[in-house]
Amino acid sequence: MKINSDIGQNTKLDRNIQKPLRGILFFLFIFLVASCTTSLLIAATVNNPPVIGITGYANNQVSSDGSVPKFKTSMSYWKAIEKAGGIAIRLLPVSKEKIPIILDRLDGVLLCGGPDISPEKYGEKPHPSVNVLSKLRENFDFALAEEAIKRDMPVLGICLGSQMINVIKGGTLVQDIPSCVSRKVHHRPVVFDEIFGPMHEVKITRGTKIASFYNAKTIEVNSYHHQAVKKIGKGLAVAFRSTGDGVVEGFEDPSAFFLIGVQFHPELQQKPAGLHDKLFTEFIKACTDFGSK
């Protein structure tokens, strides 16, 4: 009887040990599952960079020299997106009703440079210097940008792209800086070096998101434009202004997820090296965050 009593006591002891042991094993299991899930999510983020749709030149008319219609985009935009960690996809014009299908597959949009917006878009008659966009591109780019902004998708506008954002937001444009504003700063020189200049100084507005990208009060930027923002669009805040003549060189929407326009060409500027890197990395970061929503 003593033996049976000892066995019973040992069985109770084993059960008392097993209960906390089961609890420990359960929590170890949960911890391992959570760790594996986190690792998979990190791997997915690293292996699946954001996809950025970029616009470009589009002309569906046969040129005067007899060349066929073409779609083209400077490789510099693609390189800037790739360097910052994104994947650049060239967007070709489609009808307005198909644009949501495209945007459903993107994490952000880069609106590139090009000719001039039709002044009718902002209620003005054209200046003699205006060289308007092809209707094919203008209609597509405007519809694309409007839908992307409506979705609060990250959008970066460069040169023409920034002007497009401003017009969509109800702003207007200086149609020709030399004849309408000043000739103090050569915003569009006759001889232009796409990589290294010419340059002019811009002042950065304190307290803006853009100011956090540059550790300076002023910077030198390249310049190749004859138009600029005149009346700033609703909800936009000026972030860059030319120190020589006060021309707006960049803006942002403080209330948007990421909506920034710059008049210069950060994708081309190489002097000083890396000056605009954070502009693109922050854009890609915003696209990554938007894509994971």
What is residue 211's three-state secondary structure?
helix
Does the annotation count 159 as an active-site position?
A: yes
Q: Given 267, 276, 282, 287, which residue is catalytic?
A: 267
Write phi, then psi, for 136 (nearest 5 degrees). Answer: -60, -50
Residue 112: both structure tokens together: 């590139």
Residue 180: both structure tokens together: 């309408």
C-alpha–C-alpha distance, residues 240 and 159, integer Å: 13
For residue 272, cis peptide bond before it (omega within 30 degrees of 0): yes
Does the annotation count 265 as an active-site position?
A: yes
Give, as one character, the DSSP assignment of residue 178. H
Please say whether the beta carbons of 261 and 225 come within 8 A: no
Strands 199-204, 173-174: parallel, antiparallel or unpaired by DSSP?
unpaired
Write phi, then psi, for 88 (nearest 5 degrees). Answer: -95, 130
Q: Given 200, 265, 276, 287, which residue is catalytic?
A: 265
Q: Given 112, 138, 159, 225, which residue is catalytic?
A: 159
C-alpha–C-alpha distance, residues 66 and 1, integer Å: 111
Please say whether the beta carbons of 210 and 204 come within 8 A: yes
Q: Specify the amino acid at residue 291.
A: G
Does the annotation count 220 as an active-site position?
A: no
CA pseudo-torsion sign 27, 29, 33, 35: positive
Residue 123: both structure tokens together: 């209620």
Give, as one character, the DSSP assignment of residue 221. E
CA angle 26, 30, 32 (to 5 degrees): 115
What is residue 147's three-state secondary structure?
helix
Catalytic residues: 159, 265, 267
